[in-house]
Amino acid sequence: MSILERIIADKIKEIELKKSIIPVAQLEQSVLFDRPKNSLKKRLSESKSGIIAEHKRRSPSKAVINQNLNIQDVAKGYQTAGVCGMSVLTDTKYFGGNLEDLLLARASCNLPLLRKDFIIDPYQIFEAKAYGADVILLIAAVLTRNEIENLSKIAKQLNLEILLEIHNDEELQKALMPSLDMIGINNRNLKTFEVDLKHSKELSHSIPNKFVKVSESGISSAEAIKALQPFGFQGFLIGENFMKTNNPGKSATEFIKTLEA
């Protein structure tokens, strides 16, 4: 069983447990459920930098990245830096995150928030809305076309945007549909965990211009972004580069200054 298969198997169990404790009707009573959406797509379309800064404590490929930071401070720092949005890892077992992180980030900044998790069930979309997310991540590698269509339509009904993550052209062709907002190309090979920005460059031509293009993983310099922008990318998801420092907000500020110089 691959790491991805183990994650999904655990996620199924986790969701069933949560459903038995907190029903959807209770999630719909959240004070955040009816808040207006803060559009990440719009921010990226209008930005020169396009940075989506991530809060990630650890990962299966890198183990511990940084577990000593206060997420409120990280969120405030990212907002001060002028990033376009913030990605919040909410998977606990493999990434050390949780939904409370999303809630605290929402209370600490006005940025568009992406709930980054392995979303496989409509229940998780209601959770995302209830805890203050503006965007959800759908990963083509773990979903069928029908599942992507169903989940994205539910997200739209809840006034959430969708970032679809792909790794190759097969996933892209399977997943392309009007209900998506942004398409992210993950430069990390899920089998080897190696990272190569050429994945973004090669796949960029296959993505229709109606979707905002986002490059994910392995972006650690302004030069990398400048090399990707001619291929139509308007969004750049950066996590480890900021999170491995003692002050991610300051790191993001310096990064954006270098990029805009």
- Per residue in 1-42, pLDDT (tens digit) is 788 889 999 999 999 999 999 999 999 999 999 999 999 999
The two tokens of residue 24 are 């959807």
Band (88; pLDDT cuts 50, 70, 90) = very high
- pLDDT for 11: 97
From 116, 129, 152, 213, the catalytic residue: 116
Q: What element of type H or E holds 199?
A: helix 198-204
Closest CA to 122 of 86, 146, 98, 91: 146
Does the active-site annotation cover 108? Answer: no
From 59, 108, 200, 217, the catalytic residue: 217
From 127, 161, 216, 240, the catalytic residue: 216
Does the active-site annotation cover 213? Answer: no
- pLDDT for 143: 97
> In whole angstroms, what separates CA 97 from the centre of its chain?
13
Q: How far apart are CA 121 and CA 227, in angstroms?
A: 36
Does the active-site annotation cover 28? Answer: no
Does the active-site annotation cover 49? Answer: no
Pick from 57-71, 167-181, 239-253: least confident: 57-71
- Per residue in 132-144, pLDDT (tens digit) is 999 999 999 999 9
From 87, 186, 187, 200, the catalytic residue: 186
Spatial contact of 41 and 212, defined as CB atoms under 8 Å apart = yes
Mean pLDDT taken over the chain: 94
From 127, 165, 171, 240, the catalytic residue: 165
Q: What element of type H or E holds 7?
A: helix 3-21
From 11, 41, 56, 129, the catalytic residue: 56
Does the active-site annotation cover 216? Answer: yes
Band (117; pLDDT cuts 50, 70, 90) = very high
Share of the chain above pLDDT 90, in %: 85
Mind listing the domains of the chain with CATH numbers?
3-260 (3.20.20.70)
Instruction: Identify the bridge partners of residue 163 per DSSP, sorted by sequence position.
Output: 137, 182
